[in-house]
Amino acid sequence: MPELYKNYIGGKWVEGRSGKTFENRSPANYHDLIGIFPASGSEDVDCAVSAAREAFLRWRLVPAPKRGEILFRAGEFLRRRKEEIARAMTREMGKILKETRGDVQEGIDTAFYTGGEGRRLFGETTPSELPDKFAMSVRAPIGVCGLITPWNFPMAIPTWKLFPALLCGNTVVLKPASDTPHTAVKLFEILEEAGLPPGVANLVHGTGRETGNALVRHRDARLISFTGSTEVGREIAATCGQGLKRVSLEMGGKNGQIVLADADLNLALEGALWGAFGTTGQRCTATSRLLLHRDIKKEFTEMLIERAEKLKIGDGQNPGVEMGPLINEAARRKVERYVGVAKEEGARLLTGGENYAEKKSADGWFYRPTIFDQVTPNMRIAQEEIFGPVLVILEIGSFEEAIEILNGTPYGLSSSIYTQDVTCAFRAMRDIEAGITYINGPTIGAEVHLPFGGVKESGNGHREAGTTVYDIFSEWKAVFVDYSGKLQKAQIDIE
């Protein structure tokens, strides 16, 4: 019998109100049933938000350093269970063990980094323009935060949102992706073990259409933090705008890696392979466009094809596997559609372009690393996010042309340039329209103490991670203390 999992509301594991459920299966073997989870509805969301609202009255009064200590403990428990969680995560969402270990490590790093900020949740003091008057600004919690997270980083991204939200004194309701509910259960087991009070963090499983919508629309959820597609992000922004609630959006990307003629080609090759085919291309920061200078294009393309065709595909739990499956059948069909579009547009298929179905992987959603050449900047495959192991090559003749093409999409999340020319490197830092720029590194590989997010259709201006995340999860309050013993009127009593 498969294991039956529950929601976590008010400090208790509880069944869904509707009685409806959904299956969680491994993308590497769809016969592998991980468990049955509640398909929660608006009643479950209402219970979770109510529990969070009640807990907020107490949690906001807990000193920030004490809140940080709980996060430190959570980090320690994550570290102790790192291998167990990584293996469960690989089974659940498919990426190889090396990557899921890194995913858990991001959660550990975030716990320790955020815990330390409990003693650094700084405001500002500033001179008043009037005598005998003190002025300062402090951070205040917002209330109940609704967190909606994706499946591709099922530990890292929830902790990026949840830990800073809790440190600021908020309470939360997490709606994880329906493809990765088991990892969220592991996280909440750790929060419970770390001593987080009941109701401070609540977990509600279900679909985005029903559970996620109910959370976004709930009038007592005062903030929504979402990571996912740009299309869904637009809908969430519109709904939150109607309710005048704060919303933070981290969305799609069409990230480009530039390789100039003077680049270290071996280094650039490693970056392109990792950026394009790490996590099977299922990252918002994945390298989906490769901008090659015409002087090195032929040589580099030959190197790229040779290496891509040697990548070992299979179940990420097995030693030596370098690329796992796509997350589900719908994701593979989407990749198949875009491969068809590329051929119709006149792009030349260099390798891949088909399902991978050797005997050991016949029951999973595998697809070969795919590379297209003769791609022009306005083709759909050079403009639209595919979210799979598909890399397109665009030829460039100069640094200026590379920047123009790289910036020429609706997105602006991550970017990369390989060059030995320090002038080009610094001009790229200045001129590329993206929230993240790597010099001689791939487009993937965020660090938790730096801001993460994008411009244009990749985000709405907020940044997760680093210190900037606290501007999402806290309100600024200006405080004035007048000890003059008389009425002083700002701007009026100044002579």
- The question of whether 284 is a catalytic residue gets the answer yes
Beta strands in 128-193 (DSSP E): 133-141, 144-148, 171-175
Nearest to 194 by CA among 320, 11, 378, 388: 11
- The question of whether 92 is a catalytic residue gets the answer no
How distant, in Å, are the alpha carbons of 26, 361, 384 from that of 248? 30, 38, 22
Q: Spot the catalytic one: 92, 99, 106, 250.
A: 250
Measured CA to CA, the distance from residue 179 to residue 152 in angstroms comes to 9
Structure tokens that stand for 189 in this block: 């087991």
**Pairing mode, if any, of strands 370-373 and 348-351?**
antiparallel
Contact (CB, 8 A) for 181 and 13: no
Measured CA to CA, the distance from residue 437 to residue 258 in angstroms comes to 11
Q: What single DSSP character describes residue 450?
A: S
Q: Which residues pair with 4 in a beta bridge?
A: 36
Amino acid at 45: V
Contacts of 32 by beta carbon, 8 Å cutoff, 6+ apart: 25, 26, 91
Measured CA to CA, the distance from residue 489 to residue 244 in angstroms comes to 32
Contacts of 49 by beta carbon, 8 Å cutoff, 6+ apart: 144, 146, 173, 202, 215, 218, 220, 221
Catalytic residues: 250, 284
